[in-house]
Amino acid sequence: MKHRRVLAASTLWLALSAPAMALAQAPKASEVPSPADTYGELFHQVQMRKLFPDGKTFVDATPRRSPAQILAAYRAHAAFTDAELKRFVHANFVVPLSAPLPPPSKDRTTLKAHIAALWPVLTRPPVEAVDGGSALPLDKPFVVPGGRFREMYYWDSYFTMLGLAADGRQDAVESMVDDFGGLIDRYGHIPNGTRSYYLSRSQPPFYFAMVGLADKTDKARFKQRVDLMRREHAFWMDGEKTLAPGQAYRRVVALPDGAILNRYADDRTTPRDESYREDVLTARAVTNRPAGEVFRDLRSGAESGWDFSSRWMADGKSLKTIQTTAILPVDLNALLFGLETAIAQGCADLADAPCVAEFSGRAKARRTAMDAYLWDAPRGLYLDYQWRERTRLDHPSAATLYPLFVGAASPDQAKAVAATTRALLLAPGGLRTTTVATGQQWDTPNGWAPMQWVAVSGLRRYGEEDLARDIGQRWLATVAREYKASGKMLEKYDVEEAKAGGGGEYPLQDGFGWTNGVTRALLDLYPAPG
């Protein structure tokens, strides 16, 4: 009886939310439906009852027959206990098992050798879409992060490619750049990952940096990739020409002086398919805002890649105060400066003068706006900006190094950021993500591979070699220590104690694409003695 009461209560919640959810869940013409769209009440029950420990399991399942047949069979059954519903799911779907983990290295070969051996383990073949399934089609092989992450992810892949390039796997780099170009061509943007439930959002825009790792000798292919960068830029800037000062549309915000900067903003106002139950429970705990606003901010936090962090919380502590769409992030705007600069350079190589003029002008205007709104001279760092309240947020984070990574900082700004980084963010085991501990995975004590590379690369760009080397060598020592202890390459690490990281919505993952890539690239910069 207990589970039948849960069914009734959950159905009531869904019914009360139905008008708003139906509107938000209607897929755009360029999108395919997500599992929540396709399976409706069945999906809701499976996720809310937590039939699987990981909410991502069911959304990655492949139907054994058509969705219409599955739903007809589901509706023909008056009610399900948990056990009955789980049997129904297994009878109608191929449910993914936990992804096979790379075998821990028993002989503890060198890190370089271990990473090289992991690339085949993490490589997946091309994908064909299945009716009712969530996997998006991909034409060429690709490398996944590992663990629960069975598909190709946007920003992860740039850092993974660093290691592929260092290991002479240019074929894999080109293949993945082509796959990402295919996503832009098909959907108008690169989704968070290659699943239908990720289509309403993107991730930190690193495609231009991926193109920077790719071959440029084939002029026709290079031109095609520059054109794809321009299409991605148009996605991020959609709506800019119609905004009055103080207004926002999708990912664009017009500031009071007319300057334009960007935010993260998922296009939907529903719970994330892959974290459905978690999002529903978070929204229920918020009493002062509509659920749709909370859902969008949670989704937008996922678009940032920093899901989740004190950066996005109004009180700097609690997920219930998440306000992602109210924030103009340092890292996003720095990356868009990098994209604009890369387009201008690409167009110069292609002798397209009007394009050079447009995107050089865009980059210059963005840099001016970043200096006005995101640069805190007294503190010596870049900070996120709360555009609704017109205030800079006092949340120091590793994002302050992104303007150095893309060349948007002046020499004096870079020098100040370096000093602040050493004072606030340098930990015994590498670079801290933030300076506060909230239990969220993108806060201290965790450090992440992409942040180490952004910092090292950006600091080296401005001649801050000593700090770059210090960060890089501390990180390598942390990774090596854990590898020696467990034989594993992990998703994140505790850089305070140089051990495995923690926090977040799911268990610590092993694999791991971007850790492998960054570690491999850093080993070329800072070889271990002996």
The residues that are catalytic are 307, 491
3-class SS of residue 506: coil
Task: Region of 31 please: left (phi>0), alpha (psi -120 to 50) or beta.
Answer: beta
Best CA proximity match to 201, nearest among 124, 151, 273: 273
Cis peptide before 245 (omega within 30 of 0): no
Distance (Å, whole) CA 82 – CA 41: 14
Strand, coil or helix: 510: strand
Q: Which two tokens stand for residue 156?
A: 């992860």
Q: Token digits for 463?
A: 């001649």
160, 149 contact by CB (below 8 A): no
CA distance 527 to 472: 10
Residue 511 parent element (H or E)? none
Q: With H, G, I as helix, E, B as strand and everything else as coil, classify residue 144.
A: coil
Find all residues with CB under 8 Å of 124, minimum gap 6, and list them. 141, 142, 143, 144, 150, 152
Query: What are the tokens at 111?
Result: 């890190």
Quick check: helix, strand or coil at residue 62?
Answer: strand
Where helices occur in 237-329 by DSSP H, the ranges are 276-284, 291-303
Q: Is omega for the bond preceding 235 within 30 degrees of 0, making it cis?
A: no
DSSP designation for 255: -
- Closest to 463 in 3D by CA, of 517, 523, 417: 417
Rg (CA), the chain: 23
Residues in Cβ contact with 107 at an 8 Å cutoff, skipping those fewer than 6 apart: none
- CB under 8 Å to 288, separation ≥6 — which residues? none
Residue of 348, 295, 335 whose CA lies nearest to 450 = 335
Residues contacting 22, CB < 8 A, separation 6+: none
Residue 266 has what DSSP assignment? -
> Among 473, 482, 438, 437, which residue's Cα sits nearest to residue 452?
473
**Residues of the chain by 3-state class (helix, strand, coil), percent to 5:** 55, 10, 35
Which residues neighbour 114 within 8 Å (Cβ) at sequence distance 6 or greater?
Answer: 105, 483, 489
